[in-house]
Each structure stands twice: as structure tokens, then as C-alpha cells.
A = this chain, B = another copy of it.
Amino acid sequence: MQTRNTVKALRNAVKAAKQEGKKISFVPTMGNLHEGHLQLVRRAKAVSDFVVVSIYVNPLQFGAGEDIDNYPRTLAADKQKLFAEGADLLFTPSTEEMYPNINAASPTVVSVPKISETLCGQKRPGHFAGVATVVSKLFNMVQPEVAIFGKKDFQQLLVIRKMVEDLCLPIEILGVTTARAEDGLALSSRNGYLNENERDIAPKLHRILLDYRDAIASGFDNYLDLQRYGMEDLRQAGFEPDYFSIRDAKTLEDITVDTEEAVIAVAANLGVTRLIDNTTLAINPSSDWGMLASQ
């Protein structure tokens, strides 16, 4: 596995791979790699000939009061894992390399309005513009044919998909199913912040999601009530919930007759740790509405 830390060296390596006719894939990460990331790398390997992984803790997507300095950095262990998975190139740029003018004139922003402003965007203003900006930079640096993101960060995946579609980037975006611990907890770098008691509570987040998934699947469709109950269940379980939202999985807006797939998305705090998770399900309200109309 090659490691590169400048854009120029990265581009030379990618260019050489392209000249050999290789299909390039890309997995952007912030490091502190766990099994969830490695599943992204495996998918990348399955769909391409040359896997580029980046590790970069992007300051643009951290808000005021969000502690970028204590974000876990485990480069040596990350390298070993990526090497074991057979990644081809690791890109580890410095902030000087990513943002040479970060302290100078206001840098260019890529923003995906509306879809960035709901759910996590409400608590984290500017977060998704930070994500979209750094991902579009990384895309321009790597120029992959395919890029892989986890579905755990569901809103992020939608923001990236919309950015790619709107800006006509020639990149296919693949979403990979969330990797989970045996007890159902979605894998996340942030799980490392949980103390023992919090770690015991944490899997209930997923359990509650599945309960509501089942409830909707079995016909409950008063989403406002379900959201209220969901918030209450989270509180009862020991979380301080930010949101428990049932939305259209394409637009993140409220469910309508046109909704084909719903997402139940949740963000909840356990002590200092903010956890997110989600689950999706096909819904078909039009058939119910048809039944009502025929009654």
C-alpha cells in the first residue's frame, strides 16, 4: 500500500493506475478506522481495481464547541488495517495541503441547501456545507469513478448524492449498510467515548428504531404521534434525544403519498457522546389510500 500526503503525489499515483486501465474507487474517512470503515474498503475492492482511502480530520465540518482536537487519531493502527484489507493508496494530507489559504480570504463553499438544514443540520449549522466542500475537494483530487460511504451517516450520504447529481460529477456513489456490534449498536468512532454504563444503554437506540420500523410496517401511520412516542422511549431508555424523525428517505422531508421509502433517523446523547442511527423501510401509502377510497 502506498501512502501519499500531497495532492501532487496522489495525482501521480492515481494517474499511473489509470494508465494501467484500472478503475479507481475512493473511501474518504476521518481515520480511527473500525469494522464499519473496513466494510467500505471491501466494497471498494469488490467494485474497482485501485482503492484510494483518505484519512483527514476536516476542520470545516466541526462547529463551535465541537472538539476537533480530541478527535481520536490512530494513524499507525489505521495503516495496518488498510494494508490488511488490500487498499492500494492511503492519502493523508495535512491541513496546510488541504487548505493552503485557510487563514486568508474566505474560501469557496459548496452547499446543498434544504436537505442540509434539517435533522443533524439543525444542531450542527454549517456541518454539511463543511462535508460537501471537503468531499468535493477530495473528489477533485482523487477523481475516482466510484466513491463509497456508510449508510449510518444517512443524511451525509444524501447530501453527497445530491451534490454529485447537481454538479454533474462523473462519480458513482455507493452506500454501504451500517456495520453493527453483536448487540446492534452501530459502529462509530464515537462509541469509544461511552463509559461502561452508557455502553450498556447504547444498543437500545437500534432496538427502539426496529420497534418503530415494525410498528410502521404493521400499519401505524400517524408519524407525528410515532415521533413523539419515539422521543419518549429514548428518554425512558436513558438518552437525551436530539430528534427522532420519520421522513421520506429520498428528500428527508415529511412522508407524502409519493414516498416510496421512509427513513427513521435518530440522534441522541448519552452523557457527552452524541450517537446517530437510522433504519429504512419501504412504504406504500397509496395502496392504503386506495383502500380508504373504496370503503
A residues with CB within 8 A of B:
7, 11, 101, 105-115, 132-133, 136-137, 140-141, 143, 162-163, 165-170, 251
Contacts and interface: CB of A to CB of B under 8 A. Distances in A.
A95 to B, nearest CB: 14
Given A109-B110, A109-B113, A140-B170, 4 more contacts: A105-B115, A108-B167, A109-B112, A110-B167
A108 B101 contact: no
A101 B140 contact: no
Given A140-B170, A170-B11, A111 B111 contact: yes
A41 to B, nearest CB: 23
A203 to B, nearest CB: 34
B105 A114 contact: yes
11 contacts: A101-B166, A106-B113, A106-B114, A106-B115, A108-B113, A108-B132, A108-B167, A109-B112, A137-B167, A137-B168, A140-B167
Contacts of A108: 110-113, 132, 162-163, 166-167
A170 B142 CA distance: 10
A161 to B, nearest CB: 11
Nearest to A141: B168
Given A105-B162, A163-B108, A251-B105, A140 B169 contact: yes
B166 A107 contact: yes
Nearest to A250: B105
Contact of A140 (B11, B113, B141, B168): B168
Nearest to A138: B168
Contacts of A111: 108-109, 111
B162 A143 contact: no
A126 to B, nearest CB: 13
CB-based closest 7 A-B pairs: A108-B166, A106-B113, A106-B114, A140-B168, A107-B166, A108-B112, A108-B163
A7 B168 contact: yes
Contacts of A11: 170
A164 to B, nearest CB: 9
B113 A110 contact: no
Contacts of A109: 110-113
A111 B163 CA distance: 13
